[in-house]
Amino acid sequence: MPELPEVETTRRGLAPHLLGRTVVGLDVRQPRLRWPLPAELRETLPGQRILDVERRAKYLLVHTEPGSALLHLGMSGSLRVLPASTPVGTHDHVDWRLDSGQVLRFTDPRRFGSQLWQPRGQTHPLLAGLGPEPLSDDFDGDLLWVRSRGRKAAVKLLLMDQAVVVGVGNIYASEALFAAGIHPRRPAGAISRERYARLADEVKRILAYAIRRGGTTLRDFISPDGLPGYFEQELFAYGREGEPCRVCDTPIRAIVLGQRSTFFCPRCQR
């Protein structure tokens, strides 16, 4: 699944082509994605000028005067701005026709993505209760330490709890824990404030660097320009089971936490 850096890369790639443009109409070839396209989106968006393109967690919000389209890429979705004459593929489910003569095309082979609507002045239920953005000043080691008190669950599960901090998915949680030298299965409540300070700093550093590098190349993810991300070749833990640790040469191990594969170095992480 595309994680925060991939979604932010998508936002940055799309924004110059969308800002100030008017959505002339929608071509909906498959209305049933993860959820059916709501009538509010189909009826309200056409004719509206795009005011801003924002990211919240792993959602993209395309703001217009009456409200915002709430977009999620799901497991395999992509959004690209293309000439309106571009042939339509099997999995090209929704086109936003723009006054520029281009289309914003949503492609999703697995149809786990979504396009929803948030009226102006309201917060969509999917966004309610989310924690702070990891790259914001609201996220730091003190927050992690406070939220972890009394928790016996693994620290990796705390880091991936969207009510604690948004957008730190499986790949980047593994990488941040490696960089901070913390074993992913260590009980969250047993970690000191000092170690959480380092973990929060590593989350920020790694996410920011991954964004600069274009995200992580996943099997199904491509960026708006059609190119993959460039961070995968620099991963220290994720997906490297059996390979030597880049720091100490100990083979990387894998376990399952929260039904997700988790990678770590048994020597570097305690």
- At 227 the pLDDT is 52
Q: Provide the residue count of the chain.
A: 270
Q: Give the C-alpha distances (Å, rounded to integers) separating 58 from 14, 32, 70, 259.
A: 15, 20, 10, 20
State how far the Cα of 45 lies from the Cα of 48, in Å rounded to an integer: 6
CB 28 within 8 A of CB 93: yes
CB 176 within 8 A of CB 144: no
If the chain, 270 residues long, is cut into consecutive pieces of 10 residues, what is the mean pLDDT of each piece? 85 94 97 95 97 97 98 92 95 97 95 96 96 97 97 97 94 96 98 98 95 61 51 81 98 96 98
110 is in an annotated binding site: yes
CATH class of the 4-119 domain in this structure: alpha beta
State how far the Cα of 236 lies from the Cα of 224, in Å rounded to an integer: 26
- At 129 the pLDDT is 92
- At 222 the pLDDT is 46
Residues designated catalytic: 2-3, 58, 260
CATH number of the 141-264 domain: 1.10.8.50
CA 152, chain centre distance (Å) = 27
> What stretches of 36-174 adopt beta strand conformation (E)?
52-56, 59-63, 67-72, 78-83, 92-98, 102-107, 114-119
State how far the Cα of 152 lies from the Cα of 150, in Å rounded to an integer: 6
- At 2 the pLDDT is 77
91 is in an annotated binding site: yes
Cβ neighbours, 10 Å, residue 193: 12
Q: Within the chain, which residue ranges are assigned CATH 3.20.190.10?
A: 4-119
17 is in an annotated binding site: no
Q: Give the C-alpha distances (Å, rounded to integers) separating 157 from 19, 41, 137, 148, 164.
A: 37, 34, 22, 11, 10
Q: Within the chain, which residue ranges are assigned CATH 1.10.8.50?
A: 141-264
State how far the Cα of 177 lies from the Cα of 159, in Å rounded to an integer: 9
